[in-house]
Amino acid sequence: MPAILEAADLHAQYGSTQVLHGLRFAVEAGGITTILGANGAGKTTTLKTVSGVRPVTSGAVIFDGNDITAMPPHQRVELGLCQAPEGRGIFPGMTVLENLDMGAYTRRDRKTAAFRSDLDRVFELFPRLNERRTQTGGTMSGGEQQMLAIARALMARPRVLLLDEPSMGLAPMIVQQIFEIITEINEQGTTVLLVEQNAQQALQRAHRAYVLETGHIVRSDEAKVLLGDESVRAAYLGVEQRQTGTSGVQPK
């Protein structure tokens, strides 16, 4: 399938520290692409650069065949490139409904049946949020806040949904539920770029995978191939099992 989103020799830095070193990856339309890596690999910086939150030092971000490298973040959202940020990033003092309304901020059809239909869709995906529509986000559990962050991004009607560590800090049962919902979102037609440290879940759900180490992409292949690769299993899956086997909490 054709790529809807591409990073072309992407470099980015914080101050004088180079963080991304010539990244090249492609996100196929209609699929789930995952970028794996340990803490400090540059995963969050990659998404911030793609979404326009961090400036590009050199290289380009291509969306639907167009160079959007210089485009501000809100215009990327209007094009259909929307992110659920790391650490959930909800508005804690706002209710569920108010958070969802903020997700649709750039839309011009918020008084129409299309908007209400999208609201119904996210409540079908996340029944827990429907039960808590008038509850403030900051009083909800970590799993519920993660659901709200994803639902809020969906209210912008993304063509590509960017997800930054959706499993971070969640118990295994909630992690499983979140990944099942991500799969359903994709099956409903939304392309997903998933940045994750939970390699097992990410590789089971994704179609294509990239491995990021210290700002360099060191491996890329079909997700099912990397899932069966012994070096990937030793570097990521084994670490996960040791670190989460007793605590039930996913590492960052």
Q: What is the mean pLDDT of residues 186-196?
A: 97
Q: What is the mean pLDDT of residues 50-67?
A: 97
**Higher pLDDT, residue 197 or 183:** 183
Which of 206, 204, 124, 120 is closest to 163 using CA atoms? 206
Band (pLDDT 50/70/90 cuts) for residue 248 is very low
3-state class of 181 per DSSP?
Answer: helix
Number of H helices, E strands in the chain: 11, 10
Count of alpha carbons within 13 Å of 144, Cβ hemisphere only?
19
Q: Quick check: 137 and 86 in contact, CB under 8 A?
A: no
Residue 246 clears pLDDT 80, i.e. is over it: no
Q: What is the maximum alpha-carbon separation in the chain?
A: 53
Q: What's the pLDDT tens digit per position in 117-170?
A: 999 999 999 999 999 999 999 999 999 999 999 999 999 999 999 999 999 999
Residue 240 clears pLDDT 80, i.e. is over it: no
Residue 239 clears pLDDT 90, i.e. is over it: no
Domains, the chain, ordered by start: 1-80+159-252 (3.40.50.300), 89-157 (no CATH)
Q: Where are the alpha helices (DSSP H) in the chain?
A: 43-51, 73-79, 96-103, 113-125, 127-131, 142-154, 172-187, 199-205, 223-227, 230-232, 238-244
**Average pLDDT of the residues of the chain:** 91
Cα 56 to Cα 144: distance, rounded to the nearest angstrom:
33
Sheet of 17-28: strands edge to edge? 17-28, 3-14, 58-63, 66-67
Q: What is the mean pLDDT of residues 82-100?
A: 92
**Higher pLDDT, residue 233 or 22:** 22
Give the pTM.
0.90
Q: What is the mean pLDDT of residues 97-124?
A: 91
Q: Quick check: 28 and 2 in contact, CB under 8 A?
A: yes
pLDDT (0 to 100) of residue 86: 79
Q: What's the pLDDT tens digit per position in 9-55?
A: 999 999 999 999 999 999 999 999 999 998 899 999 999 999 999 99
Among the listed ranges 101-115, 161-175, 217-231, which one has the minimum average pLDDT value?
101-115
Which of 168, 161, 103 is closest to 129 using CA atoms? 103
- Distance, first Cα to last Cα, the chain: 32
